């Protein structure tokens, strides 16, 4: 809440409950087994297994930690281990003894997800792991599969007796569900219904890997571990907020997936709304999972709904045509593999959001995301109101820019006097860079998130009501776009900052997009 009058200075309060203090000093999970459904897939190979190996190298995994891979290929345990060994040993710094010990904890169960018999074989392997490696019935199921398999896997896990609850005292069971969680409000609700037929909400971890990024978590630390920002973090001082998630890549080999998804499902509904809620939320009463998520849900509920008229006036859709990026000619979206030649799929979106709350009434939040923009950059920029009087002539606005990736850091732009006998000034910046300040590269997002699941900490995962509120918000955009043909696609050249209509969205109120 904003305060204009300085309160008396008092010592900060720390309570004895570590959750209330937000301290997570000792993070050592109990021994457990992780089952990866879709162990031969792109996500498992590129993200999950490397993150687990990195956790192992950092000695953050519990003793006896075991991985069971599941996919259709007929592999045995040893062949599965060899695949991972081959993907790791090109790194000459790897300690061979450590790798051997880690690989002994890898197991593989071949089968298809709808086969009850496969779950019985999985059960036997898990029981053997419990006996031999001391995992005590603690299980984490990771659904790294195409989303169409999420329901059948959960139902089969339930029917096979592979889900324990706290009452049975047979160890914990947790399930991690990859994005996309549904493809609209109805399918998200249906998926939640299936999930809750088998698991309690406390056992469910809906992952959005953006929340595993250090720079995203730092939004909360920046806001709530410093005293100077909160008094100005509101409609009285903030003119508007811009959130940009730009990619220079096109759809690469994922044209089939993207035709179904498009930019709203791929970026806006999840990653971008996460950035927005963390930026706009009220201070939580503690740093525990539900307290933080309660505040995020309140932001989503406070957001002005879109109707047909608002989708037409406040939302811009775009699709890239051919162009140039980094000196190379690149094809139009409609020429990409597995993309229809007359595709209506949006690869760019820009939209104005309003949060109708005491703190943010009247402050526009401009969000934009696109593929084949000039560079890869994610940032949140808070632009402050102008000074009330121009004593020294026109000024540039103060802007606080949180750079999520790359070049992670935060900069504050302000006006400074140009040296010399005149009263001229120009914008300069105070700049914080992670790399320089902490001299260490941030860990991969999946490392943090996998560890949190093992620890039973769901703060950085989406709750049921949060996912449904996000779909409710974007549903009118998806529905309106599905019902109306865009006749101007493609409407931006690859390598540019998006369609002209996106510039007009801000120009109407005398503002303009940043060029990060």
Ligand X SMILES: NC(=O)c1ccc[n+]([C@@H]2O[C@H](COP(=O)([O-])OP(=O)(O)OC[C@H]3O[C@@H](n4cnc5c(N)ncnc54)[C@H](OP(=O)(O)O)[C@@H]3O)[C@@H](O)[C@H]2O)c1
Return the active site residues: 271
Q: Which is nearer to ligand X, 71 or 346 (CB)?
A: 71
Instruction: Determine phi and psi for 377, rounding to 5 degrees.
Output: -155, 135
Q: Which is nearer to ligand X, 112 or 168 (CB)?
A: 112
Look at the block and give the residue holding tokens 């560890």: 451
Smallest distance, ligand X to C-beta of residue 208, A: 9
Structural tokens at position 37: 């459904």
Contact positions toward ligand X, by CB under 6 A? 38-44, 71-73, 112-113, 144-147, 178-180
**CB 35 within 8 Å of CB 118:** no
Smallest distance, ligand X to C-beta of residue 180, A: 6
Q: Which is nearer to ligand X, 49 or 410 (CB)?
A: 49
Where does residue 167 rank: exposed (0-12), middle (13-18), buried (19+ CB within 10 A)? exposed
Q: Which is nearer to ligand X, 156 or 242 (CB)?
A: 156
Contacts of 470 (CB under 8 A, 6+ apart): 269, 270, 273, 300, 462
Smallest distance, ligand X to C-beta of residue 202, A: 22
Smallest distance, ligand X to C-beta of residue 148, A: 9
Helices (DSSP H) in 89-207: which residue ranges? 96-103, 116-133, 150-159, 185-198
Smallest distance, ligand X to C-beta of residue 355, A: 27
Q: Which is nearer to ligand X, 137 or 147 (CB)?
A: 147
Helix, strand or coil, per DSSP, at residue 185? helix
Q: Which is nearer to ligand X, 44 or 355 (CB)?
A: 44
Number of Cβ within a 10 Å radius of residue 61: 25
Q: Name the residue among 280, 276, 251, 284 with its Cα closest to residue 266.
A: 251
Q: How many residues are listed for the chain in this entry?
A: 516
Smallest distance, ligand X to C-beta of residue 145, A: 4
Q: Which is nearer to ligand X, 18 or 147 (CB)?
A: 147
Smallest distance, ligand X to C-beta of residue 193, A: 19
Q: Which is nearer to ligand X, 181 or 360 (CB)?
A: 181
Q: Name the residue among 214, 271, 210, 219 with its Cα closest to residue 401.
A: 219
Contacts of 246 (CB under 8 A, 6+ apart): 368, 369, 370, 373, 374, 375, 376, 377, 378, 497, 516
**CB 154 within 8 Å of CB 121:** no
Instruction: Determine phi and psi for 107, rounding to 5 degrees.
Output: -135, 165
Q: Name the residue among 264, 475, 238, 245 with its Cα closest to residue 355.
A: 238
- CA–CA distance, 33 with 39 (Å, rounded to integer): 14
Q: Which is nearer to ligand X, 147 or 397 (CB)?
A: 147
| Distance linking the first and last C-alpha atoms of the chain | 30
3-state helix, strand, coil in the chain (%, to 5): 40, 20, 40
**CB 59 within 8 Å of CB 452:** no
Structural tokens at position 402: 């949180």
Residue nearest to ligand X (CB): 41
Number of Cβ within a 10 Å radius of residue 214: 19
Smallest distance, ligand X to C-beta of residue 144, A: 5
Q: Which is nearer to ligand X, 44 or 402 (CB)?
A: 44
Smallest distance, ligand X to C-beta of residue 505, A: 28
Half-sphere exposure of 507 (CA within 13 A, CB side): 5
Contacts of 14 (CB under 8 A, 6+ apart): 21
Smallest distance, ligand X to C-beta of residue 312, A: 30
Instruction: Tell me the β-bridge partners of 414.
Output: 428
User: What's the sign of the alpha-carbon dihedral 280, 285, 286, 292?
Assistant: negative
């Amino acid at each position: 809440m904003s305060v204009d009058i300085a309160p008396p200075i008092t010592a900060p309060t720390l309570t004895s409950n570590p959750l209330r203090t937000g301290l997570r000093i000792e993070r050592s999970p109990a021994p457990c087994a992780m089952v990866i459904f879709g162990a031969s897939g792109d996500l498992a190979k590129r993200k999950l297994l490397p993150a687990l190996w990195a956790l192992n190298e950092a000695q953050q995994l519990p003793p006896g930690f075991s991985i069971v891979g599941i996919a259709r290929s007929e592999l045995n345990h040893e062949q599965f281990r060899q695949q991972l060994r081959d993907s790791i040993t090109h790194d000459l710094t790897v300690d061979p003894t450590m790798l051997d010990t880690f690989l002994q904890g890898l197991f593989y169960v071949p089968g298809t997800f709808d086969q009850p018999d496969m779950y019985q074989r999985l059960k036997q392997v898990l029981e053997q792991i419990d006996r031999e490696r001391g995992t005590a019935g603690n299980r984490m199921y990771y659904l790294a599969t195409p989303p169409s398999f999420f329901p059948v896997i959960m139902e089969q896990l339930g029917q096979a007796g592979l889900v324990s609850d706290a009452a049975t005292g047979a160890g914990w069971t947790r399930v991690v569900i990859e994005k996309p969680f549904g493809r609209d409000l109805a399918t998200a609700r249906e998926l939640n219904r299936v999930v809750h037929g088998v698991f309690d909400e406390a056992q469910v971890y809906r992952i959005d890997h953006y929340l595993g990024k250090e720079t995203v978590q730092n939004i909360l630390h920046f806001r709530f571990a410093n005293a100077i920002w909160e008094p100005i973090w509101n409609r009285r001082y903030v003119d508007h907020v811009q959130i940009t998630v730009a990619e220079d890549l096109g759809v690469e080999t994922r044209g089939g997936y993207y035709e179904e998804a498009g930019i709203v499902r791929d970026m806006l509904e999840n990653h971008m709304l996460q950035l927005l809620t963390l930026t706009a939320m009220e201070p939580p009463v503690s740093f525990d999972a539900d307290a933080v998520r309660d505040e995020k849900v309140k932001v989503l509920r406070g957001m002005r709904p879109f109707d047909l008229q608002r989708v037409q006036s406040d939302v811009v859709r775009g699709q890239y045509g051919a162009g140039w990026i980094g000196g190379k000619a690149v094809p139009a979206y409609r020429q990409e593999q597995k993309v229809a030649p007359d595709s209506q799929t949006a690869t760019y979106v820009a939209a104005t959001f309003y949060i109708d709350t005491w703190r943010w009434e009247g402050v526009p939040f401009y969000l934009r995301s696109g593929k084949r923009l000039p560079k890869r950059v994610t940032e949140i920029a808070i632009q402050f109101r102008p000074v009330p009087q121009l004593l020294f002539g026109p000024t540039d606005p103060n802007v606080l820019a949180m750079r999520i990736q790359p070049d992670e850091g935060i900069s504050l732009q302000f006006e400074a006097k140009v040296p010399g006998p005149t009263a001229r000034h120009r914008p300069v910046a105070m700049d914080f860079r992670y790399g320089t300040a902490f001299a260490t590269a941030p860990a991969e997002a999946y490392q943090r998130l996998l560890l949190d699941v093992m620890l039973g900490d769901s703060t950085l995962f989406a709750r049921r009501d949060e996912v449904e509120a996000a779909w409710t918000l974007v549903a009118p955009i998806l529905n309106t776009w599905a019902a109306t043909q865009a006749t101007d696609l493609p409407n931006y050249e690859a390598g540019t900052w998006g369609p002209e209509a996106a510039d007009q969205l801000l120009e109407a109120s005398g503002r303009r997009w940043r060029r990060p």
